[in-house]
Structure 1
Amino acid sequence: MMPAAQPLSPVPATTQLASAPAPQSNTLVSVPSDAYVHVIESGESLYTVARRYNVTAQAIIQANGFSSPDKIFVGQKIVIPGKASTLAALGPKPSASQAVDTLAPAAQPLAKPTAVASLDTQAKTPAATVKPLAPVSDAAPAAPVAEAKPLEQPKSEPVLSGADKFRWPVSGRVITDFANSKGTGINIEAPEGTAVRAAENGQVIYAGSGVEGYGNLILIRHPNGYVSAYAHLKDMNVAKGTVVNRGDNIGTAGKTGGVAKSQLHFELRKGATPVDPVPLLAS
């Protein structure tokens, strides 16, 4: 319920944060005197930054003339479109620490390198509930820091179950659709303690509470290039590195993170791009 991709982040086929400023086109060369500038921190993606400032990733891309939005790097300065004084209030706080791995296309863990986006429920709009992942800061600055040990690879790589579509992780009414989540995922109403099931065979690349606004979050990388995210969990039954099968009980629905009532925030990402999960879920 990984609020909009502002950003489920950390969501393996996902946005990567490079450790060094290699790209030239993504570097902010000149900054307008009245513009608000954000410095990319570890654990942030373009979507998490967008969520933090309540703007769209596309708006940031256009404001900075990015040709490759998935190549942002730690320490890079980017212009955030909007009123500087308003944006400054949403910016990083000195005491906030970030924790999450990046949803990397190559299946990199979500510990400190990237993040996923997530959202809220009807009680709170995705953007309002989960501060930009910094969310995926207000989805970004997190308190606990996830361990950065490498992802243990299974003896044999997971294979798809053979089903045409992903399975619903939980049964319930969709209370926030993809559009209203600012393009991050959907929120499904579910009583606290309801079993949450893996949408498809895969490997857990992140399990923790290091993404502010998402509460307990699990990210699973699937053999078909997708990464699924499950947020606001009450309990988590799997750990990073666990290989799961379609339908396995990975945790229970809850209201951890930035939501007021029990629900599940669910995301699907193809590469670095969040997609509407509903058309990809079995009816």
Structure 2
Amino acid sequence: MPQRACSTVRLAIALVVVASLGACIPPSADTPVSKPAPQRAAPRLPTDLVALIEPEPVWEARKVAPNAQQVAESLYTVQPGDTLRSIGNRTGAGSEMLALANGLEAPYVIRPGQKLRVPAGRYHLVSEGESGIAIARAYGIAWRDIVDRNGLEDPFILRNGQRLLLPDPGKRPQTMEERAAAFRIDIDDILTGGQPALREGEETARATPTPKPLPATAAITEPSRFTGSFAWPIKGKVLSPFGQFGSGLRNDGLDIAVPKGTPIKAAADGVVAYAGDEIKLFGGLVLINHGSGWVTAYGHADSLNVVRGQKVTRGQVIGLSGASGFVSEPKLHFEIRRDRKPVDPLLHLPKS
């Protein structure tokens, strides 16, 4: 049946493996790119393949109302039985910001009579199912700014009742249309803000090897640690290497030329953190979390056959190459990231 170029999430139960392998990794968001290619139809797949389509990305499943509360700076005297969470509920400030403002470190021990500074600002109260990306979109601000402002750390899973300090809105409130126009997401935003908030006591969902989409309200359990090595996701001529280019532009990965329809393979064992096309530059994109802070990215796919929360193994076909996104020829954009920072894939791949 005809397939639309890179639907939000395309899952195929089986995939025809092509005999010839060829591959290329395209430029990153900062790398010069050619004019966006016209929309192309994905190749026809055999009729025995069944596609399961997730209707919307995780951050669209739970809409966020921009109802942040303004909190004035004050001093709070710790009472018997208080915790940072309960103090946050009383004052309207976030427990993370209370800890940062008062130099507290885990396990955040506080004593009755202790004076705590309550930092001023606008605080958003997180509700169950809300994701960081959805929160950022509601206010028309960058999610990474919220991460930095609140000192959020891996695994970046929010919780129901958590309060997030928002960046200064500026002199004039934005309209809904202005917030929508200002909103952008990138790979780091998906990795740090794509998980839905959990309710109190809720556990993350374990990855499954079957291509069955997790509910949009389920947060994924990340792999504990990465002990393997990386393999090439596809074979082909490297068009653009990692690093800085002229005019201050930068490629965060490799761009590899490859015929359309070539199988893209997982570079190592891991769990699919994202499969979709919400980042228009990359078109069909898969992000795989390998544990220990390691993540790989695969962009410009023509079709995808894995879903968020699926466990994959090294060498497993995760999609077919194409020219989706802002490219004019079939290629693969491949990145390796460690602790949110892109690293040169050639330093971690076998010599080829």
How does the TM-score come out when normalised to structure 2?
A: 0.44
- Alignment CA distance shift 1:176-1:260 (3 Å): same
Aligned to 1:171: 235
- Alignment CA distance shift 1:158-1:197 (3 Å): farther
Q: List gaps (5 residues or longer) in structure 1.
A: 11-18, 30-39, 48-60, 80-90, 114-146
- Alignment CA distance shift 1:45-1:168 (3 Å): farther
Three-state SS of the structure 1 residue aligned to 2:231 is: coil
Which one of the candidate residues 201, 206, 218 is aligned to 1:150?
218
Equivalent AA in structure 1 for residue 28 of structure 2: P
1:215 deviates by 0.6
Aligned to 2:191: 103
Aligned to 1:211: 279
1:212 deviates by 2.1
Question: Does the 8 A contact of 2:196 with 2:219 survive in 1?
Answer: no
Question: Does the 8 A contact of 1:203 with 1:222 survive in 2?
Answer: yes
- Alignment CA distance shift 1:182-1:46 (3 Å): farther
Three-state SS of the structure 2 residue aligned to 1:267 is: strand
Cα separation, 2, equivalents of 1:217 and 1:282: 23
Aligned to 1:223: 291
Percent pairwise identity: 30
- Alignment CA distance shift 1:3-1:75 (3 Å): farther
Cα separation, 1, equivalents of 2:165 and 2:191: 15
Aligned to 1:56: none
Cα separation, 2, equivalents of 1:78 and 1:167: 45
Say whether residues 1:251 and 2:319 are aligned partners: yes
Aligned to 1:41: 136
Equivalent AA in structure 2 for residue 264 of structure 1: L
- Alignment CA distance shift 1:281-1:45 (3 Å): farther
Equivalent AA in structure 2 for residue 176 of structure 1: S
Three-state SS of the structure 2 residue aligned to 1:102 is: helix
Cα separation, 2, equivalents of 1:75 and 1:178: 34
Question: Does the 8 A contact of 2:239 with 2:255 survive in 1?
Answer: yes
How does the TM-score come out when normalised to structure 1?
A: 0.53
- Alignment CA distance shift 1:77-1:190 (3 Å): farther
Pairs within 5 Å for 1:129-140: none
1:272 deviates by 1.6
Which has the higher Rg, Structure 1 or Structure 2? Answer: 2
Figure out how many residues of one structure are paired with residues of the other and give that number.
Answer: 193
Cα separation, 2, equivalents of 1:267 and 1:227: 8
Which one of the candidate residues 231, 244, 261 is aligned to 1:193?
261
Aligned to 2:310: 242
Question: Does the 8 A contact of 1:159 with 1:202 survive in 2?
Answer: no
Aligned to 2:350: 282
- Alignment CA distance shift 1:217-1:110 (3 Å): farther
Equivalent AA in structure 2 for residue 41 of structure 1: A
1:203 deviates by 0.5
- Alignment CA distance shift 1:273-1:77 (3 Å): farther
More helix by share: 2
Cα separation, 1, equivalents of 2:165 and 2:328: 33
Question: Does the 8 A contact of 1:233 with 1:264 survive in 2?
Answer: yes
Post-superposition CA distance 1:60-115 (Å, at most 9, x none) = x9xxxx9x7989x7842599xxxxxxxxxxx97638676986313xxxx73689xx
Question: Does the 8 A contact of 1:151 with 1:205 survive in 2?
Answer: no
- Alignment CA distance shift 1:246-1:78 (3 Å): farther
